[in-house]
Structure 1
Amino acid sequence: MMAHLNRVADHQKMNMMSSENLAIVFAPSLMSSSYTDPLSCLAGAKFEQAVINRLIADYVTLFEGEDCVPSAPLTSSSASTTTSRSTTASSR
């Protein structure tokens, strides 16, 4: 998600969506607070926007070269389960 938003921010001259603007839009969905006091909620929203802004703006520095979705190592039992499922499905 942050990689996509970083690419959107790269085109901010055309789409007017800087990392700050994207953070304003996406922070409430990506980070929700449990504050009930309006002033605390506003302060929390500003913090959430700052965090999302940094994740978008510094995406390359933070995540470059990282496999963000680690895959589980393939074991012989999971390989045989996958093979037997596909064999069973194809024989139907």
Structure 2
Amino acid sequence: LMAHLNRVADHQKMNMMSSENLAIVFAPSLMSSSYTDPLSCLAGAKFEQAVINRLIADYVTLFEGEDCVPSAPLTSSSASTTTSRSTTASSR
């Protein structure tokens, strides 16, 4: 997701979506606070936005440009192998 948002921010001259703007939009969904007081929520939102902004803006530095998307789509056989390994490991 951060790789995609970084690419979106790269085109901010066309789409007007800088990393700061993207952080404002996505931070509430990606980082939810446990505050119940509205003022605390607003104060916490600034920190949440700052974190998401850094993750987007510094994606290449933070993640060394590695693409976290699998090179090949998962097939039903590879998904079932992963599930059976998880089941075996949890039953030990």
Q: TM-score, normalised by structure 2?
A: 0.72
Q: CA–CA distance in 1 between the matches of 2:89 and 2:51?
A: 46
For the aligned residue pairs, the C-alpha RMSD in angstroms reads 8.2
Please give the per-residue CA displacement for 1:34-82, whole angstroms capped at 9, x wherever unaligned.
Answer: 1011111001111000000000000000002546469999999999969
Gapped regions of structure 1 (runs ≥ 5)? none
Percent identity (aligned)? 99
- SS of 1:49's equivalent? helix
Deviating more after overlay: 74-83 vs 10-19: 74-83
Q: CA–CA distance in 1 between the matches of 2:83 and 2:44?
A: 49
Gapped regions of structure 2 (runs ≥ 5)? none
Deviating more after overlay: 63-72 vs 74-83: 74-83
Q: CA–CA distance in 2 between the matches of 1:86 and 1:41?
A: 38
Deviating more after overlay: 14-23 vs 57-66: 57-66
- SS of 1:61's equivalent? helix
Deviating more after overlay: 80-89 vs 8-17: 80-89
In the TM superposition, structure 1's runs of 4+ consecutive aligned residues that sit over 3 Å from their partners are: 65-92
Give the C-alpha shift of residue 26 in structure 1.
Answer: 0.3
- SS of 2:69's equivalent? coil
Note closer, same or farther for the CA distance 1:83–1:31 as it changes in structure 2 (3 Å cut). Answer: closer
Q: Which has the larger radius of gyration?
A: 1
Note closer, same or farther for the CA distance 1:75–1:27 as it changes in structure 2 (3 Å cut). Answer: closer
Note closer, same or farther for the CA distance 1:86–1:25 as it changes in structure 2 (3 Å cut). Answer: closer
Note closer, same or farther for the CA distance 1:90–1:13 as it changes in structure 2 (3 Å cut). Answer: same
Q: How many residues align?
A: 92
